[in-house]
Chain A
Amino acid sequence: MGRHIKAIVESSIDKKEAKKNCQECQTPCRSACKTSMTVGNLVCEVKKPLGKWTW
């Protein structure tokens, strides 16, 4: 750990699996927002299948 910068979460293009596009994740506005759109809240179904509930 450095003195001036500390990584909390490290991501990269590779980690974001740039070539994947399985389209199996949820549609974001069918969520608990309903009036604002948030793709950032989506969970990848490949990395973490959601089970029977929407959340």
Chain B
Amino acid sequence: MDLVKRDWHIFSVEGEYFLFNSLGSLYQLDEEGAKAVESLLKGSKDPCIPEDVYEEIEEVLTPYDSFNIQVYDDLTLKSLCLNVSHSCNMVCDYCFVSHNLSSSRSMMDLETAYRAIDFLIEASKDTKNIEIDFFGGEPLLNLDAVRDVSIYGKKRAVEYNKNLRITLTTNGILLTEKVLNLLDELEISVVLSLDGGDKVHNIHRHLINGNDSFKYILPNAIELARRREYGGYYIRGTYTAKTITFSETFKDLIDLGFRYISLEPVVTTDENLSIKREHIPILREEYKKIAEECLKSDVKFFHFELPLEEGACLPRLTRGCGAGIEYMAVTPTGEIYPCHQFVGYRQFMMGNIYEKNLNKELKDRFKILNNIDSKPLCKDCWTRYLCGGGCLANNFNMNRNITEPYEIGCEIQKLRIEYALWLRAKRMEVKV
């Protein structure tokens, strides 16, 4: 039996063996079965393993030839990140936006915002589902724009028979009851930045005057979660080298009443905060603890939600994030960048919302990078249809080169996926 090596990955958790196939299949093996599959992946059977083990494996695993997926060139823009405010009422140690907050105009005016909506409607062509994301700075500092642009966008979407989903990423300081009412009314999903309980959160996230911010955010976050018991929000925290035991953070957030949680590694060159190779064993243990915690509860940890059956089709999984093609970011002055993390780096400015022609050379460059098979280090990696080749902005932020993978990010992605798959297997056991 020939197995396409790049499509299979064997891993073990707590003495149990699992086999994942890049097309989305997941199997559990015993030790002998794992050794047999390993030998098959090396190209020959192990004479020490009884033939009946191989026979059983061959019955279960469906062989297939290596396949090629058609590369689609007709991708359209379908999502815009609107940086409606480049001002912020907080100063966080790891903020990737801080370098561009000195922009000449910090608030997006309505004319620019409406043009951005029109640009999205037109560029999305026949695509029905389109998205906007209010980002910043702190977008709630420009609440009028959030309200008016949402109303305008929904109206235009109806006119063009499109379905517009809206997300807002906020630090939560201004998330008052009045604002929450508005976000509920306009059906705006919310990502609220909260790094954990008070001690962890206050390490990196400060008010502009340097004071702790947790006590101002927590009541708002709790009210958001109370209103959205069945979805429509994520609490999103960043962990750093200083807050590396983030499974405790995860438990703290659950204890505070949150059910939709995402904790992400910081991406920074700051030596004091950055995640380094020596942290990987710690991270493995932390993700394991989070997976165990998820097994005990109905809490959704964003990166463990891998919809293997209901996930995207293969042509989609062979593409990356779509930055610069399907997804772009617009600044308060109308400048267009491939994504929110590239904002402010002039070499990546693709154009302006007032001039419809985008930089073709830049667009073509991102189009090539959006294809997973264009990346030598990715095309033979077992995670390629789950990570999509990683984040180009992370590559740039860490290596100053969008084509050079951020290796620690890859390592984190791999171990995170292993625990997501383990959790999936364990949840199936619980169901039985």
Contacts and interface: CB of A to CB of B under 8 A. Distances in A.
Given A9-B308, A34-B264, A35-B238, 18 more contacts: A5-B29, A7-B26, A8-B18, A9-B26, A9-B309, A18-B315, A21-B313, A23-B316, A24-B129, A27-B79, A27-B327, A33-B236, A34-B169, A35-B393, A36-B265, A37-B320, A37-B321, A38-B388
A29 B117 CA distance: 19
Interface residues of A, number: 50
B79 A26 contact: yes
A4 B59 CA distance: 11
Contact of A27 (B62, B231, B326, B341): B326
B159 to A, nearest CB: 19
Contact of B79 (A16, A30, A43): A30
B293 to A, nearest CB: 17
Interface of A: 2-13, 15-45, 47-48, 50, 52-55
Interface string B249-260: 000000000001
Contacts of A16: 23-24, 313-314, 317
Nearest to A16: B314
A53 B189 contact: yes
Contact of A40 (B72, B96, B387): B387
Interface of B is mostly: mixed
20 contacts: A2-B56, A6-B28, A9-B308, A11-B23, A12-B62, A17-B314, A26-B79, A29-B327, A29-B391, A31-B234, A32-B260, A36-B390, A39-B319, A39-B386, A41-B305, A42-B307, A45-B129, A52-B187, A53-B232, A55-B300
Given A5-B60, A11-B21, A13-B23, A44 B391 contact: no
Given A26-B79, A48-B310, A39 B316 contact: yes
Contacts of B308: 9, 11
Q: How large is the interface on B (under 10, 10 to 19, 20 to 34, 35 or more residues)?
A: 35 or more
B303 interface: yes
Contacts of B167: 30, 54
B388 A28 contact: yes
Nearest to B68: A18
